Amino acid sequence: MLIDSHVNLHAPQFDADRDAVIARAREAGIGLMVEISDRLSTFEATHGLAMAHPDIWCTVGAHPHEAKDHIAVTADDLLALAARPRVVGIGECGLDFHYDLSPREVQAQVFRVHIEAARRSGLPLIVHTREADETMAAILEDERRRGPFNFLMHCYTSGAQLAEKTAAMGGWFSVSGIATFKAAEAVRAVIRAMPADRIIVETDCPYLAPVPHRGRRNEPAYVGHVLQALADIRGWSLAEAEARTTDAFFALFDRIPRGSVR
């Protein structure tokens, strides 16, 4: 069975046919999905999906775009929500210096709060990073000195140097539909060097649909195309890619029982 480690099924793009999208994922062999929190104001919808479906789990957190609306959020606030059933990660959180929809210093402040919550809870941190390689490395290195935490570099498209540094810190990486894009050879080069036992796959739906669906709304049912791309990039068979990414997923999201995959 396949796993989609990063879905945004609470997004309004799915309001008209959410149940059908979930049904199509199951028909495509997707046995488990992780529904990602991007702001606390929609966490109830995110958590509701996990509670309503035995093959969906969820996270709690605020995307860096939303950091400006979460300045007062504390690690205790996140931990209280993370204590609910079926919450298995902290985030999506991090830094986005491409759009700068929140001030950079605010992004960093809120990111550090998420790291504290991950450290105290033992839950993995789902990290978003875009055009912030030096600052991201500095924050992760500083916070690792304060105490260990597991983290995932989600939908990784940043540079090779940051990938090397985060791999040395023990980080995991997720590969998305971007790996299928014709112009993404730089991304594929980084994927070839990722630690083989710490790679997982995702759709990030409704965004970043892989070839041959590029330009359309993305769905969890398409994660098989990402897995095939990963296999091709790494020189693995599809079965090997599935086995490796499944093992890596459960090593990271260790609160999810392996027997829960449909």
Convert the pLDDT of each residue in 108-118 to its tens digit.
999 999 999 99
The pLDDT assigned to 110 comes to 98
Q: Can you list the domains of the chain with their CATH numbers?
A: 2-260 (3.20.20.140)
- 248: region left, alpha or beta (phi > 0 left; psi from -120 to 50 alpha): alpha
The pLDDT assigned to 157 comes to 97
The pLDDT assigned to 243 comes to 98
Measured from the Cβ of residue 144, the count of other Cβ atoms closer than 10 Å reads: 16
Token pair in block for residue 197: 């036992």
Q: Whole-angstrom Cα distance, residue 29 to residue 229?
A: 17
Q: Whole-angstrom Cα distance, residue 123 to residue 119?
A: 7
Which residues in the chain show pLDDT less than 70?
261-262
pTM of the model: 0.97
The pLDDT assigned to 261 comes to 63
Q: Whole-angstrom Cα distance, residue 60 to residue 167?
A: 24
Q: Whole-angstrom Cα distance, residue 7 to residue 158?
A: 20
List of residues 6+ apart from 57 with CB closer than 8 A: 32, 33, 34, 35, 50, 86, 87, 88, 253, 256
CB 98 within 8 A of CB 131: yes
- DSSP E strand stretches across 98-225: 125-130, 151-153, 172-175, 199-201
The pLDDT assigned to 84 comes to 98
Instruction: Please give the C-alpha separations between residue 78 and each of 71, 168, 211, 251, in angstroms, as whole numbers.
Output: 13, 27, 36, 22
